[in-house]
């Protein structure tokens, strides 16, 4: 299952970032699992491996695991200056020239509703800004 591979990677990332507890939506695992502190690397590594083993063993049993999807909004905020956003009003990164963001992550915050139409409008706007750029010659 690719979903299980993704869950394993997410658990490893959260643990490496210093998470104190990690949980999944697999009901039989009982919610959040506390991890030993980062000052105890062996115990922490064992707890992470035990959690991953339990996640893989449990899998995604029908009606016993909640699977959801969300629209990530505001994680790459559009702003009028580099202090107020990650990308400018054209969707181009303030930090990396030629890198554009054309999705809901450029929202200033979560809209609280389905962002489909607004996301399409942003993508259309950013695409038009990219079209206006001078073409680069092929090397």
Rg of the chain over CA atoms, in angstroms?
20
Helices 41-58, 2-16: inter-axial angle, 10-degree rounding: 160
In terms of Cβ atoms closer than 10 Å to its own Cβ (0-12, 13-18, 19+), residue 17 is exposed
Of 63, 71, 124, 125, the catalytic one is 71
Q: Is 71 a catalytic residue?
A: yes
Q: Contact at 8 Å (CB) between 76 and 87?
A: yes
DSSP state of 87: B
The string of DSSP codes covering 29-79 is G-S-EE---TT-HHHHHHHHHHHHHHHHHH---TTSB--------STT-B-
Catalytic residues: 71
């Amino acid at each position: 299952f690719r979903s299980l591979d993704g869950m394993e990677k997410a658990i490893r990332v959260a643990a490496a970032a210093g998470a104190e507890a990690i949980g999944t939506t697999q009901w039989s695992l009982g919610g959040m699992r506390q991890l030993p502190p980062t000052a105890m690397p062996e115990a922490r590594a064992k707890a992470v491996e035990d959690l991953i083993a339990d996640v893989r063993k449990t899998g995604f049993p029908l009606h016993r695991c909640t699977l959801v999807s969300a629209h990530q909004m505001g994680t790459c905020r559009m702003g009028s200056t580099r202090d107020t956003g990650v990308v400018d009003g054209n969707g181009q990164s303030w930090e990396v020239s030629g890198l554009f963001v054309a999705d809901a992550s450029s929202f200033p915050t979560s809209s609280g509703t389905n962002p489909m139409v607004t996301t399409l409008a942003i993508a259309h706007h950013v695409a038009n800004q990219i079209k206006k750029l001078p073409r680069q010659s092929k090397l």
